[in-house]
Amino acid sequence: MVIEKNVQKNIEKIKKIYGYSTDISTRIIKLGKVNVGIIFLESSSAGLTVSDNVIKSINMIDDNKEIFQSVYDNLKNRIFNSQMTTTKDFNKFPYFLSAGFTIVLTDDSDEAIVLETRMPLDRGVTESSSEPILRGPKDSFTESHAKNLGLIRKRIKDENLWFEDITIGRRTKTRVNIGYIKDIASDEEVTYIKDKLKKINIDGILDSGNLREYLISEPSAFPQVQSTERPDLVSSALLNGKIVIFVENSPIALVLPAVFIDFIHTPEDYYQKPLNISITRILRFISLFITLFTPAIYIAITTFDQTVVPNELLISLAIQRESVPFPTAVEIIFLMTIFEILRESDIRMPSNMGTAMSIVGALVLGSAAVDAGIVSPIAVIVVAFTSICSLIFTDIDFMNGIRFWRFIFIISASFFGLIGIALAFIVFILKLASLENFGVSYLAPFSPFNPSAWKDAIVRFSMPKIFKRPSYIKIKNIRKQGEDNES
């Protein structure tokens, strides 16, 4: 649809498109014999900005045709606004208006001037609420697309840091931005991700989480795309040759490719001493195995494999379970389900009362269940220990993956004991090893074995010794320290 050389007709068409919505604001100003029309949405544009930068500029302009051929040319060259574009496509008007732009039309031109007058509807830069920051920068992403890119530009002042826009959503027309460092990231991976995004045909994208399922090819309980609010984590990923996706109006960035080890590491690992971090990482791996296997092992040794524990401990367990009417498996599943409900309630409750409610709920329910003879004290200890170990991980998708496989191990132990746990563990390893994320094995650098990447896997060497980027990621330049930049 073309723009007519009649301001009044164009304004009327816009009003009809929006169903004469109450937030449409229009004004017509006469410059000589030519009408100048101003259209903006009060809900998206800042009225004071429109008045100061647009209307005042128009009122200061006279119809000087000796310098400019038309009023339109005069406006385009003299109007006060740092971000200005033009369009001849009337169909683009709804997008510009909804995005907070002001449209200026004249009777003597079939082209429109589009000026940026957005209302600041986003919050300021604050500390991340979902990822605790013990040491390091305290800023986090917001719903502002420009601020998010600025937080990365502030850290990586390199002309090779490229951002490319793709619009997704027939109705929301959401800006999706792909960020990467041109001379590090693989062109093949960048093209593949862009093609995947361009094929998405959906009404709308409201958050970066909507894109995750379109980016992965193999389903898994564990996340294959890393989500983060932290600019320092994203900057580190970009420097390692990874690709980052930002979604307009979302404070969560997507980092890919992501592997299993990424969810064990934290940004603070690179801000502290290597020895301390190495011990902490070992503790995280121990916690991972405890939270996955402890309930299942307890079920197995009390139900099928009593001979693997000393007689004294077996007698103690039997005495504690004497008054419990349910099998061990039912007891554990009951307690684990209660804990998961409490954890979910803790997440959904307001922050000023959620923690208190979960603590009171756990204490009251656990104590009452033991006193009533529904569960044994040792079962409460096992579930509590298991649950505490799971809280060491902050990524909610990773925690959900742990929860899924924990119940798989519990069910396997309920039917086959320790043999069932061993079989389930083999399936667990095979499943993770078979996953490929944009050509990268999910268990890298463990499978396939990559000794050069072990300097920053379980233990962390000192930074001067980690002079290469992870070689399991497809990148152009492998070396990140030293004089030479190997390809």
Q: Kindly state whether residue 477 falls inside one of the protein's structural domains.
A: no
pLDDT for position 179: 93
Average pLDDT over residues 47-61: 81
19 vs 16: CA distance, rounded Å = 5
Backbone angles phi, psi at 350, to 5 degrees: -55, 145
Among candidate residues 100, 116, 132, the one where a domain is terminated:
116
Burial of 250 (0-12, 13-18, 19+ CB in 10 A): buried
Residue that wins the pLDDT comparison between 247 and 376? 247
Among candidate residues 116, 134, 160, the one where a domain is terminated:
116
**For residue 355, pLDDT beyond 60:** no
Q: What is the pLDDT of residues 269-283, one digit of tens each?
A: 888 899 999 999 999
- 288 and 391 in a single domain? The answer is yes
Amino acid at 386: T
Q: Kindly state whether residue 183 falls inside one of the protein's structural domains.
A: yes
Residue that wins the pLDDT comparison between 366 and 43? 43
pLDDT for position 451: 77
Q: Kindly state whether residue 266 falls inside one of the protein's structural domains.
A: no
375 vs 362: CA distance, rounded Å = 14
**For residue 352, pLDDT beyond 80:** no
Confidence at 368, pLDDT banded by 50, 70, 90: confident
The pTM (predicted TM-score) of the whole model is: 0.83
Q: Which helix (H) or strand (E) holds 151?
A: helix 145-153
**For residue 267, pLDDT beyond 50:** yes
Contact 83, 64 (CB under 8 A): no
- 294 and 334 in a single domain? The answer is yes
Average pLDDT over residues 138-157: 89
At 237, list the tokens: 């990923």
- 238 and 351 in a single domain? The answer is no
pLDDT for position 166: 92
- 245 and 352 in a single domain? The answer is no
Token pair 């524990």 is found at 309
Q: Which DSSP string do the residues of 339-377 spell out, in sequence order?
A: HHHHHHHHHHS-HHHHHHHHHHHHHHHHHHHHHTTSS-H
Counting other chains too, the contacts that 10-14 makes at CB distance below 8 Å and 24 or more residues apart are 10/37, 10/39, 10/90, 10/105, 11/37, 11/39, 11/105, 13/90, 14/39, 14/93, 14/97
**For residue 399, pLDDT beyond 60:** yes
Contact 176, 205 (CB under 8 A): yes
pLDDT for position 367: 75
pLDDT for position 220: 86
Helix (H, G, I), strand (E, B) or coil at 436: strand
Q: Chain-wide mean pLDDT for the chain?
A: 85
Average pLDDT over residues 64-90: 77
- 34 and 90 in a single domain? The answer is yes
Among candidate residues 206, 227, 258, the one where a domain is terminated:
258
**For residue 171, pLDDT beyond 80:** yes
Token pair 């209302």 is found at 119
Alpha-carbon distances, residue 250 vs 159, 254, 339 (angstroms): 25, 10, 30
Helix (H, G, I), strand (E, B) or coil at 24: strand
Backbone angles phi, psi at 72, to 5 degrees: -60, -45
**For residue 485, pLDDT beyond 70:** no
143 vs 302: CA distance, rounded Å = 51
Q: What is the pLDDT of residues 425-462, one digit of tens each?
A: 999 999 999 888 888 889 988 888 877 778 888 888 88
Average pLDDT over residues 7-16: 92
- 280 and 389 in a single domain? The answer is yes
150 vs 346: CA distance, rounded Å = 33
**For residue 112, pLDDT beyond 50:** yes
**For residue 487, pLDDT beyond 50:** no
Confidence at 195, pLDDT banded by 50, 70, 90: very high
Average pLDDT over residues 36-65: 81
Q: Kindly state whether residue 29 falls inside one of the protein's structural domains.
A: yes
Q: What is the pLDDT of residues 324-344, one digit of tens each?
A: 778 888 888 888 888 888 777
- 280 and 425 in a single domain? The answer is yes
pLDDT for position 486: 47
At 108, list the tokens: 């003597």
Q: Kindly state whether residue 263 falls inside one of the protein's structural domains.
A: no
Backbone angles phi, psi at 37, to 5 degrees: -105, 135
Q: Kindly state whether residue 132 falls inside one of the protein's structural domains.
A: no
- 250 and 284 in a single domain? The answer is no
How many independent structural domains does the chain possess?
3
Q: Which helix (H) or strand (E) holds 174?
A: strand 174-181
281 vs 268: CA distance, rounded Å = 11
Q: What is the pLDDT of residues 403-430, one digit of tens each?
A: 999 999 999 999 998 999 999 999 999 9
The residues near 352 (Cβ < 8 Å, ≥ 6 apart) are none
Residue that wins the pLDDT comparison between 343 and 350? 343
- 234 and 174 in a single domain? The answer is yes
Q: Kindly state whether residue 481 falls inside one of the protein's structural domains.
A: no
Contact 432, 443 (CB under 8 A): yes
Q: Kindly state whether residue 190 falls inside one of the protein's structural domains.
A: yes
- 250 and 277 in a single domain? The answer is no
pLDDT for position 66: 52
Token pair 């996953």 is found at 435
Q: What range does the domain containing 238 cover?
A: 145-258
374 vs 325: CA distance, rounded Å = 7
Amino acid at 81: N
154 vs 166: CA distance, rounded Å = 23
**For residue 310, pLDDT beyond 90:** no
- 150 and 234 in a single domain? The answer is yes
- 185 and 226 in a single domain? The answer is yes
